[in-house]
Amino acid sequence: MAKTPEKHVVDETSSAPKDGGNGLKEAAPGRISRRCFLGTVTAAGASALISPSALNAAGEFAGWPNRFGMLTDLTACVGCRSCEKACNEANNLPNPSTSFDDPSVFNEVRRPTAKAYTVVNRYQDPKDKNKFVYRKIQCNHCNEPGCATACPIHAYNKTPEGPVTYNEDLCFGCRYCMTACPFYVPAYDYDSALEPKIVKCTMCYGRVKAGGIPACAETCPTGAITFGKREDLLKLAREKITKNPDRYIDHIYGEKEAGGTSWMYISGVPFGQLGFPTNIPNKPLVEETKGFLSAVPLVLTVWPALFGMCYAALRHRDEVEEEKAKSKKNEEEKNG
């Protein structure tokens, strides 16, 4: 079982920094910073006027290079809930009503709430009725997140490091992100009258940025949660599945779902039997509304001309009729 490394360096192309292990400090040549990426997009947009191939290149976003991810191996999880406890402590969340050692919570299917970023649920193993399979739920940190696409105030951000972050100072509480999330992750603080906010896993963004690893991965005693570069995790997942075809089903959940997620899962049981949503398209949700949004500027430009012309035609008809009536009157006067 691959053990999660204690420390990581964000950028392999730059030399490992000595000051606190913060590899994010300077943008080294191979690494694309956010601003640099936006610049590239603008440039690509400008060159699209000249070259059609550049237009295609700008339309699709393959995801931030070198972003991090997590791999949960459900076959290794023993349901100890130490990840829940570590998450609670690392993020200063309120104490739960039942303790983290209490197995009675497994009697019901739980979900992340306004008080818990992550929960572990228990399912009976369909292969062996005496065994259990455990599933950890938290935000999957999509490559192109539906929540970020939905948010009208840009309160969500897909960071280049991988975590999807949320800024409560911008949120007005429309909860469209919850409607859009295919994994039913964001939770809302319905009990707060004046400062309600969305609550969801941050993939310990602060720790990751400082060169650390998320609390749940750090604490997991069985190595069921691995932190690393998403590309490396995909390789690791494939390797595990290839080496142990009896142990795993041939599916990496999160490789393609909703356009791919930073958090991925491998399992011995089909994901649908563990409560994972299985009716999610493999393309990012943003693709669903792209066509509609691209029609918007057309309406803005064509409609005024079209309906302006209708009005002009109406005026024209009125004028012609007026002239006709006038000449008829003149004629009558002449004849009469």
Question: Residues interacting with other proteins, by CB under 8 A?
Answer: 111-114, 146, 148-155, 170-176, 178-180, 182, 184, 186-197, 277, 279-281, 285-286, 288-289, 291-293, 296, 299-300, 303-304, 307-308, 310-311, 314, 317-318
The set of residues, in sequence order, having a beta carbon less than 8 Å from that of 276 and lying 6+ positions away, is: 135, 253, 265
Of residues 1 and 174, the one with the C-beta less far from other proteins:
174
CB 332, min distance to other proteins, A: 25
CB 150, min distance to other proteins, A: 5
Of residues 83 and 148, the one with the C-beta less far from other proteins:
148
Residue that has been written with the tokens 């999807």 in this structure: 164
Task: Identify the H or E element spanning 69.
Answer: strand 68-73
CB 315, min distance to other proteins, A: 9
CB 24, min distance to other proteins, A: 24
CA atoms of 174 and 272, how far apart (whole Å): 30
CA atoms of 313 and 319, how far apart (whole Å): 10
CB 23, min distance to other proteins, A: 29
Q: Name residue 116's beta-bridge partners.
A: 113
CB 182, min distance to other proteins, A: 6
Backbone angles phi, psi at 124, to 5 degrees: -75, 135
Of residues 78 and 312, the one with the C-beta less far from other proteins:
312
CB 290, min distance to other proteins, A: 9
Considering only CA atoms, which of 10, 240, 6, 216 is closest in space to residue 117?
A: 216
The set of residues, in sequence order, having a beta carbon less than 8 Å from that of 159 and lying 6+ positions away, is: 64, 165, 205
Give the pairing type, strands 156-158 and 164-166.
antiparallel
The angle that helices 34-48 and 52-59 make with each other, rounded to 10 degrees, is 140
CB 183, min distance to other proteins, A: 10
Of residues 43 and 174, the one with the C-beta less far from other proteins:
174
Backbone angles phi, psi at 105, to 5 degrees: -65, -20
DSSP 183: T
DSSP 142: B
Cα 112 to Cα 78, 87, 147, 163, 258: the distances in Å are 19, 12, 16, 17, 19
